[in-house]
Amino acid sequence: MQAVALGQREMNAAVVAAAAPRNKPKFEARFVRHGRELRQAQRLRAEVFGAEYGVRFDDPDGLDRDAFDDYCEHLNVYDVANDLLIATTRLLTGAKARQAGSFYSAHEFDMTALDKLPGQVLEIGRTCVHPEYRSGAAITVLWSALADYLITEDFSYLLGCASISLRDGGHNFAAIMPQLREQHFVDQTLRVVPHRGLSIDAPVVPAAASLPPLLKAYLRMGCKIGGEACWDPEFHCADVFVLLDVAALSARYAQRFLKAG
């Protein structure tokens, strides 16, 4: 694993920030409107994915960025009391995906079964949360803003990928998948097919299964799993396809997150 490169000034600032006492967090979600905000998101992605998946980013500035970034809306969550970016995700509409050539997920899955989904489709991806802000509040603010966007812009479906690390040899993945197949798979007519199938020869210990926080959040939101997982060699993880029928948002979720009226 290669750490993200930082200049001396940034390193000094990071040390000072780490040493300084934190104010009581105050969270705010907002869409990226400036290049500086996008670079902040790309740096947070690089730091989180580098630490968690051992990914090495070849970008000269040590950022996680690709060609899809230019076609996406980027939604950031800030701890405004401490002037810190704490979570980010990117959103790709069907219209922008056509301009980009495809959805990002199409690089991992054959999505032919979804070609005739009615209404507007939105893809979510590159979601990450600062390791010091994973108690739930940050992802709640992010999901609240996402839900509001889905409803306001009249999207019918949300899709994307959620990752399960394989750095433990695949034991957790092997324990999780039976649960997902039994409880959360979409109907056969909507199944996607992974371009790189995955077979893990690891002992299955169901009691030891631990859903990654973001995958758990997707399931709580009402997402279904689109079929078998795809192996992502760059991140050394298993990606499962998630699909949400916006009309099927649970009453509890809608009541908690969506704005009234």
Taking only the tens place, the pLDDT of each residue in 113-165 is 999 999 999 999 999 999 999 888 999 999 999 988 998 999 999 999 999 99
Evaluate if residue 45 carries a pLDDT over 70.
yes
Reply yes or no on domain 22-257 having CATH 3.40.630.30.
yes
Q: What is the pTM of this model?
A: 0.86
Evaluate if residue 89 carries a pLDDT over 50.
yes
Evaluate if residue 24 carries a pLDDT over 80.
yes
Higher-confidence residue: 234 or 100? 100
The CA distance from 84 to 131, in Å, is: 12
Evaluate if residue 15 carries a pLDDT over 70.
no
In contact, 83 and 13? CB cutoff 8 Å: no
Over the range 83-114, which residues count as b (16 or more CB within 10 Å of their CB) and which as e?
ebbbbbbbbbbbebbeebeebbbbebbebebb
> What pLDDT shows up at residue 10?
40
Residue range 164-169: mean pLDDT, rounded: 91
Low-confidence winner among 9-13, 179-183, 196-200 (lowest mean pLDDT)? 9-13
The CA distance from 10 to 16, in Å, is: 10
Q: Which amino acid is at 52?
A: E
Low-confidence winner among 9-23, 44-58, 67-81 (lowest mean pLDDT)? 9-23
